Amino acid sequence: MVGKYFDGVLPEANAPVPEEDAPVIETASALWERMEKAMDEIHPHIALQEIWKLIGVCNKYIDVTAPWVLAKDEAKKPRLGTVLYNLAEALRVIAIAIQPFMPNTAPKMFAQLGVGEGELRGYESMKTFGGVRPGTVLTKGEALFPRIDAKAEMEFLDNMIEEQRKKAAAMKAAEEAKDAPAPEPEKPAAESKPLITYDDFAKLDLRVAKVIDCVEVKKSKHLYNITLELGEEKRTVLSGIKDWVKPEDILGKNVVVVYNLAPRKMCGIESCGMILAASTEGDADVVPLTTLKDIPSGSLIR
């Protein structure tokens, strides 16, 4: 939008609207302190959560300010410039923050933002919002995070689940077709995964969530769109348990969720997390994990 509306030159921030701009500026300004605390406590997953909070605030800021609408009114161009400046500066802060985690992506972001080698790429510069200079030339460049082909992803997922169902049905038919019961062959021991350390386990953020809504995803044969309550937070999670579980079976139940799983968009819906489930051989049965007794939603699992 800087390229389209300002010929690629970053405008000044000279038309603030505090109630709209403050969340971006305050979240970006506080990110260094929250990341530093998380890393000092050896919790890199929490540091990443803080980065993604800022990304979420920026996405909401775009929805609230609607820069494409501001661009239609020449009188609102100063406000448009302020919005785009704030977003560019927030992206600079994000680029600094993700350097330890995405070392190949951060330099590409700096290049597109016109931020050369120097102090504006340094950690200390995160402490002051407003480092990127008006008049800086921005370059559109390549898409750093290209869209996933949702249709292809859903076809792959549907085919995989369908294949599992066929295998389970074939196994069941073979059992029923036997004239006489025969001793079951000795099952091989389940393949063990490599041992992990406590630090590996600590990367997972597992929480208790209460299912408050469960509806079918129209574009998929096997997915539910599930709304979860985690304390005061509400989340949407897509889960491929439709073939084994009815909505009424899990409504109001506590389930176990991978809270810090990166969001993924499927069928045009962003899924934020994953519900854990146990399965029998060949996925003949799949059962979501629940708690032995009721416990407040959002409770940590450790």
pTM over 0.85: no
Q: Taking the domains of the chain in order of start, what are their residue ranges? A: 2-127, 150-157+197-301
Q: Which two tokens stand for residue 225?
A: 């769109």
Q: Using an 8 Å Cβ cutoff, are 276 and 255 in contact?
A: yes
Which residues in the chain show pLDDT less than 50? none
CATH entry 2.40.50.140 includes domain 150-157+197-301: yes
Compute CA distances 267 → 147, 270, 272, 283, 288, whole Å.
12, 8, 14, 23, 22
pLDDT of residue 78: 95
Type of residue at 90: A
pLDDT digits (tens, 9 = 90+) for 256-276: 999 998 998 888 888 999 999
Q: Using an 8 Å Cβ cutoff, are 90 and 58 in contact?
A: yes
CATH hierarchy code of domain 2-127: 1.10.730.10
pLDDT of residue 188: 57
Compute CA distances 80 → 10, 48, 55, 195, whole Å.
11, 29, 19, 53
pLDDT of residue 159: 84
Q: Which two tokens stand for residue 104?
A: 């190949």
pLDDT of residue 189: 55
Please tell me if the domain spanning 2-127 has the same topology as the one spanning 150-157+197-301: no
H-helix or E-strand spanning residue 256: strand 254-258
